[in-house]
Amino acid sequence: MSAQEVRSQAEGSAPVRTDAVDVAAQAEPARTAPTDVRADPADLTDPALRAAVLDLLTEGVRGGAALSWLDPPSRAEVDGLLDDLARRLPRDAGVRMVREGPRVVAFGYWRRYDRPSLAANADLEKVLVAGSHRGRGLGRALVEGLVEDARQARVEALTLDVRGDNLVAIALYERLGFAECGRVRDFVTWGARRFDRVTMQLRLVPAGPGGEQHAVAAHLVGWLVLQRPDGRVLLGRRSGVAYANGRWGLPGGHAVRGETWAAAAVREGREEIGVLVDEADLEPLGVSRYDDQGLQGVDVFFLARRWRGDPAPLEECSEVGWFDPSDLPADALPWLGHALRTHLLERQWLDDAAADVLP
């Protein structure tokens, strides 16, 4: 492949983010590379950090963030929370934060359930990004980091509660693999208003009786295959993501609630590489099923030969390039060559064989 057929983020415009959220339900229209810090017990005993966390939580509550407090917490409440988190780390709690000088500008944590019958699982209790730092992908980065910490701690399922009007946050959690598993109507109080309490769950280590693995269907993914007249297809190098960071892959991602697979593929193409595709111009290529350590999902691939705009790396993508689908680079997603051969080159619609290939 010639050098002219790869375009890096540095050559194009600054990264743009159009779908990220934090729990305050604010859209994040732009993104810079997020950096979060995994806290250890010593961090949480630092008086200056405790004061900074208090300031962040106070700002969030006063701004209407859905954090369960009606009034800002006291210093004693925050000290008690951080004491408990420090005692539980790392097996029974996870804490992530972003610091800027003396400030804590993003903060989130989970805790393992205390009841013995529930202790295999944990609850993602709070994630908050300062208003001054929304739009940088920090909310998503914190959640991804906390999920990974829970996975390392062998948490089987991670739950969370979100206020029913926080639709943008719900969409983010769905994009990260969480699924709604319960809803209590008019349960959350905010002044004279009442909101639903929505409970969501992400399975991390599915297990049944005797420790045997049971697959859990959670991921519904739409992928966009842009193909030029010479047969080459567009790939983007994944960047700032939890799964397969640095590998070449197709534009695409999870369909959120109320969104079709085709709409998800079109949206991801716009957000990741800046191209506009009409759904009417999509040609369904095929469906693949996968099973990744007990977590099942379904991939749907769409072919587009017409689009508007020049592909460029934007969100979660550091460079783009055009490749022969029968000769992908060695650092492409491990399952991608099989999927393109099956659906694009051989035109097979259903591929259950891919169930044994990691997503």
Closest CA to 162 of 180, 147, 150: 180
Same-domain check for residues 187 and 231: no
Cα–Cα distance measured from residue 327 to residue 321, given in angstroms and rounded to the nearest whole number: 13
In a domain, residue 244? The reply is: yes
In a domain, residue 233? The reply is: yes
pLDDT at position 294: 52
In a domain, residue 28? The reply is: yes
Kindly give the confidence (pLDDT) of every residue in the chain, 359 residues in length, as a single tens digit, with 9 standing for 90 and above: 443 456 655 554 333 322 222 333 333 334 444 455 777 788 899 999 999 999 999 998 888 776 777 788 999 999 999 999 999 998 999 999 998 889 999 999 999 999 988 999 999 999 988 988 887 788 888 898 999 999 999 999 999 998 888 777 888 888 888 888 888 988 887 778 888 889 999 988 755 555 444 444 457 889 999 999 999 999 999 987 767 889 999 999 888 777 899 999 999 999 999 999 999 999 999 999 876 655 567 899 999 999 999 999 998 899 999 999 999 999 999 889 999 999 999 999 988 754 444 44
CATH number for position 104: 3.40.630.30
Residue with tokens 């959670």: 218
Same-domain check for residues 272 and 147: no
In a domain, residue 104? The reply is: yes
Residue with tokens 């319960």: 182
296 and 289 Cβ atoms separated by less than 8 Å: yes
Same-domain check for residues 174 and 245: no
- 205, 236, 253 — which closes off a domain? 205
pLDDT at position 27: 35
In a domain, residue 211? The reply is: no
Same-domain check for residues 24 and 167: yes
- 162, 182, 205 — which closes off a domain? 205
Which run of H or E residues covers position 144?
A: helix 138-152
pLDDT at position 139: 85
Cα–Cα distance measured from residue 102 to residue 106, given in angstroms and rounded to the nearest whole number: 12
In a domain, residue 238? The reply is: yes
132 and 26 Cβ atoms separated by less than 8 Å: no
Same-domain check for residues 191 and 229: no
- 184, 205, 226 — which closes off a domain? 205
Range of the domain at 222: 216-356
Same-domain check for residues 22 and 72: yes
pLDDT at position 33: 42
Same-domain check for residues 176 and 265: no
Same-domain check for residues 253 and 194: no
In a domain, residue 318? The reply is: yes
Same-domain check for residues 41 and 135: yes
Same-domain check for residues 339 and 282: yes
pLDDT at position 15: 34
CATH number for position 232: 3.90.79.10
| Total count of domains within the chain | 2
Same-domain check for residues 77 and 183: yes
Which run of H or E residues covers position 163?
A: strand 157-163
In a domain, residue 9? The reply is: no
Cα–Cα distance measured from residue 109 to residue 114, given in angstroms and rounded to the nearest whole number: 15
Same-domain check for residues 119 and 197: yes
pLDDT at position 276: 96
CA-to-CA separations, 181 to 161, 186, 200, 256, in angstroms, rounded: 10, 17, 5, 15
pLDDT at position 42: 81
